[in-house]
Amino acid sequence: MKPTALIIDDEVQIRRLLTVALEGAGYNAREAETGTLGLQAVAHLRPDVILLDLGLPDLDGLTVLKRLREWSATPVVILTVRDDETDKVAALDAGADDYVTKPFSTVELLARLRAAQRRAQPREETSIFRHGDLEVDVVAHIAKRAGDEVKLSATEWALLALLIRHAGRVLTHRQILREVWGPKAEEHRQYLRVYFTHLRKKIESDPAHPKIIRTEPGIGYRLITGD
């Protein structure tokens, strides 16, 4: 069975472009031109992944996303011409799995869709994360690089475990601060700069050019999977 991708976008040209790209990549592509029709289509079609534009004519895409997350966990990749960090952060905080800014590369978009779908699929539970010469056993609290144990502080462990749990997904500054330090720390971004600098020095082969923990400027961080 081909996976179904639902495109919620009011631009005809974008929908046509996405339909061609998606069907060429093995998806069944379906379309909705408004937020209301999009929500109805999700309920009816039960798609495997959703591409959602933020600038819709009837409902703001963020409103559509919030309503959708009240009853659906379907992966959602945001499509937006808005290059404002505030909009991207708001979408990610509201439950989006990823975002792509228009104009976009279809190759990158398809890779983001596949990653979002992988994260949504039930998988065999494992406590081991591997990337290059890094191996992390989250349950045993053991991290090794090239076979040598890496000593991490309790906070560094909490950060790394959180990223591993959401590997491949963008986590906003606010999400990370809330999970690791609590809700009262949501505005203290300086914590993240300090601790991620220390963490990268311990787990990255070249901390100045990190390949495991990627910074999403103005938004947050993403753990790059090893596959």
Hey, what amino acid is at 87?
D
**In a shared domain, residues 172 and 95:** no
H/E stretch holding 80 reads: strand 76-80
Per-residue pLDDT at 136: 94
**In a shared domain, residues 36 and 139:** no
Q: Where a domain ends, among 90, 120, 150?
A: 120
Q: Which residue has the tokens 């949504």?
A: 120
**In a shared domain, residues 108 and 152:** no
Give every CB contact of residue 223 below 8 A, 6+ residues apart in sequence: 163, 164, 166, 167, 168, 212, 213, 214
Using one digit for the tens of pLDDT, what is the confidence trace for 147-191? 999 999 999 999 999 999 888 889 999 999 999 998 888 888 888
Give the residue-averaged pLDDT of 43-65. Answer: 94
**In a shared domain, residues 134 and 102:** no
**In a shared domain, residues 18 and 107:** yes
Q: Which residue has the tokens 């494992």?
A: 126
Per-residue pLDDT at 123: 52
Per-residue pLDDT at 103: 85
Strands 98-101, 170-172: pairing is unpaired
Q: Where a domain ends, among 120, 140, 164?
A: 120
Per-residue pLDDT at 22: 97
Q: How many domains does the chain contain in total?
A: 2
**In a shared domain, residues 207 and 108:** no
Residue 77 has pLDDT above 60, yes or no: yes
**In a shared domain, residues 89 and 151:** no
Q: Residues for the chain: how many in total?
A: 227
Q: Where a domain ends, among 120, 147, 163?
A: 120
Per-residue H/E/C for 15-28: HHHHHHHHHHCCCE
Residue 28 has pLDDT above 80, yes or no: yes
The secondary structure of 112-132 as a DSSP string is: HHHHHHHHHS------EEEET
Distance in angstroms (rounded) separating the CA atoms of residues 194 and 201: 11
**In a shared domain, residues 27 and 94:** yes
| Burial letters 119-134, b for 16+ CB under 10 A, else e | beeeeeeeeebebeeb
**In a shared domain, residues 12 and 113:** yes
Domain housing 65: 4-120
Tokens of 20: 């061609």
**In a shared domain, residues 17 and 77:** yes
**In a shared domain, residues 108 and 8:** yes
**What's the CATH code of the domain at 64?**
3.40.50.2300
Residue 122 has pLDDT above 60, yes or no: no
Strands 76-80, 49-53: pairing is parallel
**What's the CATH code of the domain at 154?**
1.10.10.10
Q: SS3 breakdown of the chain: % helix, strand, coil, rounded to 5?
A: 40, 20, 35
